[in-house]
Structure 1
Amino acid sequence: MPDTAQTADKIQSTPIAPSQAAGNAKRKRLLTYLGIAVAVGAVAYGAYYGLVASHYVSTDNAYVGTDTAQVNALVAGPVASIAVSETQAVKAGDVLLTIDDSDAKIAVAQGQAALAQAQRHVQGFYASDEALAGQLGARQADVASADAQIAAAQANLSNAKTELTRRQNLAQSGAVSQEELTTAQNAFTQAQAALNAAQAARAQALAGVKAAGGQRATNAAQFAGVDAAQNPEVLAAQARLDAANLALERTIVRAPTDGIVSKKAVQVGQQVAVGTPLMTVVPIARAYVDANFKEGQLRKVIPGQVVELHSDLYGKSVTYHGTVRGISGGTGSAFSLIPAQNASGNWIKVVQRLPVRIDLDPKELKAHPLRVGLSMSAKIDTSNK
C-alpha cells in the first residue's frame, strides 16, 4: 500500500512535456474547425435544398416514345414493288410500295362506261319528255275534235228530232205518208247513235289525255328538280367511278408522315389483303419522353413546367429542353395485364411511379435525333406555378 501511494504521488508531481501540451491544443483546434465545417456544410446544404434543390424533381427512369404511324394495305392484291428499306428516312407522301393495279384499272374503265351510259339514259328522259308532250297535245286535240263531233251530232240530232216531230204531227192528218215518217224516224235514230259515238270518242280521247299525262309525269319524275349532271342516276354512277379511282390510287402506298421506316413486314409478290400490316413509319421529329416519377415527387408537378433532359445516347454533353404536357391517369401496374391485388394479407407497400409526358424542343430533336425506347434522365423545375 505505501508503495502504491508513493507511485501515484510521483505521477501527479511529474510535469507535462511542452510538446505534448502543444499537440493537445492542436487537436482541440482541429476538432473545433471540423465541427465548424460540418455546421457550415449542414447550413449550406439546408440553404441549397431550401432555395434550389427543393424546386426540382428528377428521375433516370424515362424513355423516348412517339405516336408511330402503322401502314396497312387499303386494297387487296399482290405487291408489285417496294421503294424503301428498313431504317430509311422518308417524307410524308413518299412512295413506300405499289400493289398490282390491273384489276383497279379495269374497275375504273367499267365505272367510266357506266357513267357515260347513265348520262345518256338521263338525256333520254329529256328527249322523252318532249315526245310525251307531243303525245299529250295530240290526245288533247282528239278531245277537241270529239267535242266538235259531239256538237255536230247534237245539231244533227236536233234537226232529226224536229223533222220527226213535224212528220208525226202531219201523219195524224194524213198529209205525210208512212214511208216519210219511217224515214224521219230512222234519221232521228241515226243522229242519236252518231251523238253517242261522238261522246264515246270524247271519253276515249280524255282517257288518252290522262294516259299521256301520266306517262309524261312518270318520265318527268326521273329528272324533276335537278339538271342532268345532278341526276341521282348520274350521281350514283359518278360515285362508283370515284370509288374505283380511289381504289386505283390506293394501289400506291405512300408515307403518312415524315419518319423512319421500321418493322417492314412485306415482300415483292406477297398477296396482301385489306388491312394487312405492311410497315411502320416512326415520326422521330415528334418524339416525346415518358418519365416515370415516384408518386411522392409529383405533388408540385403541373403541365407547362420546364424540364431538362439528357439521353444516354449523347451523354451530358447534349441537353434537351422540354415542357410537361401532363401526368398519366394511372400507374403502370394499374394498366398491366394482371393488375396488382393488394387485398391479400401479405401485402407490402411498394412506391408507385406515374408516367409524366414531356414534349421536346423540335429544333433540338432535329439537331440531335432520338429513337423510340432510348433511355433518358429528366429534371423538372417545379418552381414555375
Structure 2
Amino acid sequence: MSEDVQDQPANGQDAHPDDKGSVLDQQKRKPMLIKVAIGVAVVAGLYFAYNVFIGSRSVSTDNAYVAGEMAEVTPLTSGRVVEVRVTDTQPVRRGQVLFRIDDADQRIALAEAKAALEYAKRRYGQSRANETALGAAADASATQIGAAQARVTSAGAALAKAQTDYDRRAALTGSGAVSGEELTAAREALASAKAAAREAQAGLASARSNATSARRQEEAARALTRGTDVDTAPEVLLARARFATAELDLERTVVRAPVDGIVARRTIQVGQKVENGKVAMAIVPVSQLYVDANFKEDQLGKVRSGQAAELTSDFYGDDVVYHGKVVGFAGGTGAAFSLIPAQNATGNWIKVVQRLPVRIELDPKELKAHPLRIGLSMDAKIDLTSKD
C-alpha cells in the first residue's frame, strides 16, 4: 500500500502533463496547415492564371543584342594615301569624302587612254580613206582590162598580117620571085607577131587578175567599216571603254562613304600604301540596326514573322521602349554554327536547351530618337497574339 501511495502524485496533478501540450499543439497545427495549403493553392492558381492568360500571350528573353550590317570601305584602286578626313566614332553622311589616294598614276593612265581614243578615231578615218582608195584602184584595174583586150586584138591583127605575108612569100619561093632574105624576114616577122599576140594575151590575163585582186582588197577594207561610223566602230568602242576605265580609276582615288553611319575600325594612315580591295575602315549604319534575340527552342512554337515585339536596352533603361516586329529566324542554332560544334553522338551527351536567333526589326524613328550601337544588350518580348 505504501508503495502505491507513494506512486500517486502528491499534489493531485496529472501524471502526464506533456499529453495536454501535444493536444493543444495539434489543435493549433491543423489551422496552420490549412492556411499553408490555401496559400499554396492560391499561388498555384495565380501561376496557372498567369501562364494561361498572360504568359501564353508572349515570350521574352534577356539574351538579345543589337546587330547591324556594317559597310566595309575598300579602295578600288591602289596607291598612297595622301589625306584622311575622318576618324573612329565620327558620324558621316553618304557621299562624304573619307580619304584620298595619290592620283598621279591614274592621271597618266587617263591621258594615255585619251590619246588612244583619238588615235582609234583617226585610224577609223584612215580606214575609210583607204577603202575609198582601194575602190578607185579596183575601178582603175577594171579599165586596164579593156586596154589589154585592145592590145590582144591589135596583136591578133598583126599576127594575121604577118602570117599572110609569110604564106605569100613562101608560095613564091620556087619561082625565084622572092629572095631568101625576104622569106627569112617574113618568117621573123611572123614569129615576132606570134610572140606579141602571146604577150597581149598574158597582159589581158594579168589585167583581169589585178582587177579581181583590187576588188577583193576593196571588199576586205569595206568589211572593217561596214555598218559603222566613227562612234560605233569596234576599235573606237574599245578605246572609249579603256578611257572610261581610266576615268573611273581616277574618280576612285577619292573614297566616299557608301552609307550614313558611324566610322569604326579605321586602319589607314596618311602615307600608307593601300591595295585594291583591302578594307580601310567600316561604317556602322546606326539608323538601320536590328536585334538578334536568342530564344529558347521551347519558346518558339508560336512565334511567327510579323509579330510585334517590345524591347528595352540596358543603355537607356526601362524608360525607353523600342517597338519592332519579327522579320525572320536564323538558319540554325548558335551551337550549330559554333567553331567547334557539339558532338551529340558521343556517349557523354547531355541534353542542353538550345537557343535560336530571332531577328527583330526596329522602328527607324525610335532609333533616330534614341540611337543604339552594335553589341548592346537588350530585353525582348514578342506578343504572340499579334498578327502580321
* TM-score category of the 2 structures, normalised to the smaller one: 0.7 to 0.9
Q: Which residue of 2 aligns with 1:280?
A: 282
In the superposition, relative to structure 1, how do residues 4 and 55 fare at CA in structure 2: closer, same or farther (>3 Å)?
A: farther
Find the residue that maps to 2:225 and give its secondary structure.
coil
Partner SS, residue 140 of structure 1: helix
Distance 1:215 1:80 in 2: 55
- In the alignment, which residue of structure 2 is the partner of 1:84? 86
Aligned pair count reads 371
Distance 2:119 2:61 in 1: 70
Aligned residue number for residue 162 of structure 1: 164
- What is the aligned partner in structure 1 of residue 349 from structure 2? 347
- Give runs of aligned pairs for residues 20-169 of structure 1, distance below 5 A: 39=41, 42-169=44-171
Displacement after TM superposition at 1:81 (Å)? 0.9
Find the counterpart in structure 1 of residue 297 from structure 2: 295
CA 1:32 to 1:317, structure 2 compared with 1: closer, same or farther past 3 Å? same
Shift of 1:101: 0.7
> What is the letter of the counterpart of residue 106 of structure 1?
I
Distance across 2 between alignment mates of 1:230 and 1:287: 48
Distance (whole Å) between structure 2 residues aligned to residue 304 and residue 293 of structure 1: 16
Per-residue CA deviations over 1:27-70 (Å, capped at 9, x if unaligned) read: 96x99888767656644543342123212110011000000011
| Aligned counterpart, 2:191 | 189
Q: Structure 2: how far apart are the matches of 1:178 and 1:77?
A: 99
If the length of structure 1 is used for normalisation, what is the TM-score? 0.87
Partner-residue secondary structure (3-state), 2:145: helix
Q: Distance in 2 between matches of 1:207 and 1:227?
A: 32
Q: Distance in 1 between matches of 2:12 and 2:347?
A: 73
Percent identity between the aligned chains? Answer: 50
CA-CA distance at 1:224 after TM superposition: 3.1
Opposite residue 305 of structure 1, the aligned amino acid is Q
What is the CA deviation profile of residues 7-30 of structure 1, one whole-angstrom value per residue up to 9, with x for unaligned ones?
Answer: 56xx9xxxxxxxx9xxx99x96x9
- Give the corresponding residue for 1:371: 373
Q: Which residue of 2 aligns with 1:229?
A: 231
State the shift of 1:228 in Å.
Answer: 2.4
Work out the CA distance in 2 between the residues paired with 1:133 and 1:307: 81
Structure 1 vs Structure 2 CA RMSD: 2.9
Tell me the residue number matched to 1:255: 257
- In structure 2, how many angstroms separate the alpha carbons of the residues matched to 1:53 and 1:276? 50
Give the letter aligned to residue 156 of structure 1: A
1:243-271 CA distance string (max 9 Å, x none): 21111011000101111111111111222
Which sits farther off after the overlay, 152-161 or 304-313? Answer: 152-161
Deviation digits for residues 114-160 of structure 1, max 9, x if unmatched?
Answer: 11112111211111111111222222222211011101211222233
Q: What is the match of residue 244 of structure 2?
A: 242
Name the structure 2 match of 1:211: 213
1:306-345 correspondence to structure 2 within 5 Å: 306-345=308-347
- Aligned to 1:355, what secondary structure does the other structure show? strand
The answer for unaligned runs of 5 or more in structure 2 is 1-6, 18-23
Give SS of 1:277's match: coil
Write the distance in 2 (CA, Å) between the matches of 1:216 and 1:353.
78
1:209 positional shift: 2.0
Q: Structure 2 CA distance, aligned partners of 1:326 and 1:191?
A: 103
Match of 2:361, SS state, is strand
Any idea what the Cα deviations from partners look like across 1:354-377, whole Å, max 9, x if unmatched? Answer: 111111111211121111001101
Q: Counterpart in 1 of 2:20?
A: none
Q: Distance in 1 between matches of 2:33 and 2:318?
A: 39
- Unaligned 5+ runs, structure 1: 12-19
Indicate the SS of the match to 1:228. Answer: coil
Larger deviation, residues 135-144 vs 224-233: 224-233
Shift in Å, 1:210? 3.4
Please report how far the alpha carbon of residue 353 of structure 1 lies from its aligned counterpart in structure 2 after TM superposition: 1.0
Distance of 1:267 and 1:197 partners within structure 2? 85
Q: One-letter code of the match for 2:127?
A: F
